[in-house]
Structure 1
Amino acid sequence: MRQPDGYLNRLYDELQEKRENVNEPWEQKRVKLLKDLKASLGDFELPARETPFEDVLLERVELDEAIRERVEFTTLGGLRMPAYFMKPKHLQPGEKRPAVLLWHGHGYGSKSMVGLQEDGTPKLASGKPSDNLALELVRRGCVVLAPDEAGMGDRKLERDMVQDPELKNSCYNLSVSLFMTGKTTAGLRAYEAIRAADYLAGREEADPARMGNMGHSGGGTVASLSAALDERIKASVVGLYPNTYRGSILAMRHCLCNYIPGILRHAEMPDLLGLIAPRALFVEAGIHDPIYPVETTREAIRRLTALYGELGCPEQFDSHLYEGKHEISGERSLDWLAAVLSR
């Protein structure tokens, strides 16, 4: 045949068969898979947790219910990460709250998580939680850090901004450049997320023992991978992303930042999501999502339900499939996350 579709399907089937024929205890499998995941993401060196962040306060705004700060700090390799930090307005001195890392998807970055439009003006209210996810979490008693991920928001490549000012993100050029060095955009974002967790854990308003994360679509990639790598994340909401690779990013054109070379030799996406277990995990998705089809979302949910059951902690996993396309709900997940982190 001229078209290579059948060849690709055979490759996938062979790798799936090899993975399914591995009969190891879960904890042994988990240790090996974590090692393989780290190797596939690329070699990223994190600074020691006590390394100074050289953080600066760029802006402070008093809102009706919250204080919103724009901060910037060093992550790894000299990179600087801008982020919004939001806390309840009447937080008492010395009071520590559950802390959430909030990861945006493709779009215009962290502004979209804190109720702002791309130009920095307030969003027009639609009444949906997604208008201002950070504020919704603050209303539920949390403090929130919403960073800009590498290649998006205020962190697009300089060359992209010069060559094509209308370009929405730098995911493609960032990814191909990292691939050529043996690294990945998924890895860079996941390891920067660990450093962001270091920063959040050190904030006087945050309780590092009650730290969680939330991300949708591309932010779901960051939330899931960083939670797999960082056991300080007690609870995770991963939305508009949990699926199988075969059913989603291999079934249609997706952003290059989703791809991890060689990962199918070791795992399918539900296996990587399972690395979060036995810590708490909530999956949400729209049943009419055109790029993460619900049929394979349900497959991921079935596999995760089985894993949490085998580990004796079925109450640590929950999911919500709702009427909608590739759009955030938060109808159940926001209350779930706040409740788990308040235990």
Structure 2
Amino acid sequence: MLQLDDWIRQVTRQTAQKLPFQAETAQQWEEWRDALKRKLAELVGTFDEHRVELEPETVESSDLGDVIRERVLLTTSPGLRMPVYVLRPAQKQGRLPVVVALHGHGYGSKEIVGLHPDGSEMTGDPGIHRSFALELARRGYLVVAPELIGFGERRFAEDEVKPPKENSCYRLAASFMMTGRTLGGFRSYEARRALDYALGRGDADAARAGCMGLSGGGMVCALTSALDERIQAAVISGYTNTFDDSILAMRHCIDNYIPGILEWAEMPDMIGLIAPRALMIEAGVNDRIFPLHGTRKALSALQHIYRTAGVPERFEADLFEGGHEIHGTVSYAWFDRWLGKGGEA
């Protein structure tokens, strides 16, 4: 008699995937990519029926000396507004490359733009997010950092009285799954709307757009970059693994789950839809919730996809000494390589 742990692993591992990556030629790769992309969009939901005019409204502006940080409200669905931080280098002129910056679990977008939960300027330890949106702006990028639904100021009323790092993921994800779609899909839809806004600005270069996210934001980055080909370079931090070794091996937030995905593909296949565009994977070798052995399996699979697509130079990984956190040392330079800093000083 199998123990429950062994039994459920057997159930998931014996699921026959219908679209695993098995291509041997560039043409087969393209056919696989198009088929899996359609299926992924169906599984997570595109939410295009929610699309309305963005109606941007700037509600805050701060001059940090080297960076101008604005807070803009966007309408992403009838009756729903999304706060977005917009950061741009103060001394740059002209059209700048754009990066959509996606926070993970924590207290929301403030955590990646250099702010404490109460809105005061961050001092001391920047935490696992390392204020990476602010760092990218300092390097010459126009950065948009949306507040993902369920975090920070976008929580249910019952959760607003809880500590800042508590979230509303469970009820949101359950509600979306009951309608046949996913919270990850809606977050990806809103990330694409943030990109719509950014690329419509006069200071953005629409031909040079990237995306970066940590952990749950890494998942949203993967989905967004896979489904939106305007994104020319992506950095996924603290997420890339296999479902078998990470999401199914331990307790994760419910927002990580995509019903039915294992019938079609594993996580590296899903992330591999970003090819032939540039992809950097960041992973701390001591990350306990996305363990190294699973990351190595995923990296091998992704290398195979990029080789088959004929663009092995557009894939790179940074396995750094650290845990579940942003690194940035290699990935910021990766954006410089594929997007360039642009503008005129």
Q: Structure 2 residue aligned with 1:27, among 26, 30, 55?
A: 30
For residue 301 of structure 1, give the secondary structure of its aligned residue in structure 2.
Answer: helix
On the 8 A contact 1:235/1:340 being kept in 2, the answer is: yes
- CA distance, structure 2, for counterparts of residue 21 and residue 282 of structure 1: 19
Task: Spell out, residue by residue over 1:143-183, the C-alpha distance to the aligned partner (whole angstroms, 9 max, x if none).
Answer: 10011001011111224336x56771001111111111212
Task: Spell out, residue by residue over 1:250-300, the C-alpha distance to the aligned partner (whole angstroms, 9 max, x if none).
Answer: 000000000000100011000000000000000001001010001110111
For residue 70 of structure 2, give the secondary structure of its aligned residue in structure 1.
Answer: strand
1:86 equivalent in structure 2: 87
Identity between Structure 1 and Structure 2 (%): 47
- CA distance, structure 1, for counterparts of residue 258 and residue 78 of structure 2: 21
5+ long unaligned stretches in structure 1: none
Q: 1:292 to 1:35 in 2, by over 3 A?
A: same
- What RMSD, in angstroms, separates the aligned Cα atoms of the two structures? 2.2
1:37 equivalent in structure 2: 40
1:301 equivalent in structure 2: 299
2:234 equivalent in structure 1: 236
Q: 1:166 to 1:312 in 2, by over 3 A?
A: closer
- CA distance, structure 1, for counterparts of residue 127 and residue 104 of structure 2: 17
1:63 equivalent to 2:41? Answer no
Compute the TM-score of the two structures, normalised by the length of structure 1.
Answer: 0.92
On the 8 A contact 1:129/1:136 being kept in 2, the answer is: no
Aligned length: 338
- CA distance, structure 2, for counterparts of residue 157 and residue 331 of structure 1: 36
- CA distance, structure 1, for counterparts of residue 112 and residue 126 of structure 2: 15
Higher relative contact order (CA 8 A, sep 6+): 2
1:208 equivalent in structure 2: 206
Q: How does 1:286-297 map onto structure 2 within 5 Å?
A: 286-297=284-295
1:195 equivalent in structure 2: 193
On the 8 A contact 1:130/1:330 being kept in 2, the answer is: no
Runs of 4 or more, structure 1, over 4 Å off, are 16-24, 126-130, 164-167
1:156 equivalent in structure 2: 155
- CA distance, structure 2, for counterparts of residue 130 and residue 159 of structure 1: 26
On the 8 A contact 1:46/1:195 being kept in 2, the answer is: no
On the 8 A contact 1:125/1:131 being kept in 2, the answer is: no
Compute the TM-score of the two structures, normalised by the length of structure 2.
Answer: 0.92
5+ long unaligned stretches in structure 2: none
Which letter maps to 1:117? H
1:12 equivalent in structure 2: 12
Which letter maps to 2:239? Y
For residue 336 of structure 1, give the secondary structure of its aligned residue in structure 2.
Answer: helix
Which letter maps to 2:59? L
Structure 1 residue 7 displacement after superposition:
3.3
Which letter maps to 2:32? K
